[in-house]
Amino acid sequence: MDCRDVEGLLDAYQDRELEPAISTSVRDHVNTCAACHQRLANVESIGRMIRHAPYYPAPDGLRARLTQARTRSTSASHLLAWAAAVVLIASVTGSMWFVRSSARAARTLDPVDAVAQEVVSSHVRALMGEHLFDVRSTDQHTVKPWFLGKLDFSPPVNDLAQAGFPLTGGRLDYVAGRPVAALVYMRGQHTINLFVWPEASDAIRSSDAQAIRGFHVRHWTDGSMSYWAVSDVNDADLDQFVHALQP
């Protein structure tokens, strides 16, 4: 997670609205980045100023004038109530149309974008639910055989320790309507989940880069397998990870 990602999450972080895994990533970044630490301090300072802003009650004279004005406008308020009702009906009708339109748009979400959302959710669930591993090992010759009989394909398993991304294990996961292999790598204290399943197309696709909910995502195929890498490491590290996996 870099400064650009963190800057857009500071308000939600301050209000404790982030998912625990994302909140932890923001906290870790802020603790090591002087610029973002100052940005967070500014956000907290503004919050304190708002909470401690003085309250000034209305003077008695102003209260009396408002009461008189409200009494004189009683008849007019009935007309305004009817107008408000008309506006409300129009608003509800428009909202229903918007919801239906949004639902149709969600159903027609680009398939690749939909899978990207799924792999990020699976990554977060694994970190939050403490079910990151079904088999925990740094030996690719232990991890790869573990999947035999559990999937209808044999996922490639590579040890990338020399490239700075040691293998730490794997698990079964469920993405895009099917069981998939999830291989777990580390970069320092950061977890990288690599989701793998057979690719229906024979085309070779270069890596697609996305950022979703504070996580970086890479997707590519090699003609027989589809790969999705998800992590909160910075873009450069994740690109290096992908390069180490690609022939």
Q: What is the pLDDT of residues 21-66, one digit of tens each?
A: 888 888 888 888 888 888 888 877 776 666 665 655 667 777 777 7
The model's pTM: 0.57
Cα–Cα distance for residue pair 53/34, rounded to 1 Å: 29
- The answer to whether 88 touches 96, Cβ cutoff 8 Å, is no
- The b-or-e profile of 91-128 (16+ CB within 10 A means b, else e) is eeeeeeeeeeeeeeeeeeeeeeeebbebbbebbbebbe
**Kind plus residue range of the DSSP H or E element containing 192:** strand 190-198
**For residue 186, pLDDT beyond 80:** yes
Specify the pLDDT at position 22: 85
Architecture of domain 111-245: 3-Layer(aba) Sandwich (3.40)
Alpha helices, DSSP H only, in the chain?
Answer: 3-7, 10-14, 20-32, 34-51, 60-72, 74-107, 111-128, 140-146, 235-245
% of the chain at pLDDT higher than 90 = 40
Average pLDDT over residues 212-218: 91
Specify the pLDDT at position 98: 46
Arithmetic mean of pLDDT over the chain = 81
**For residue 137, pLDDT beyond 80:** yes
Instruction: Check residues 114 and 70 and name the one with the higher pLDDT.
Output: 114
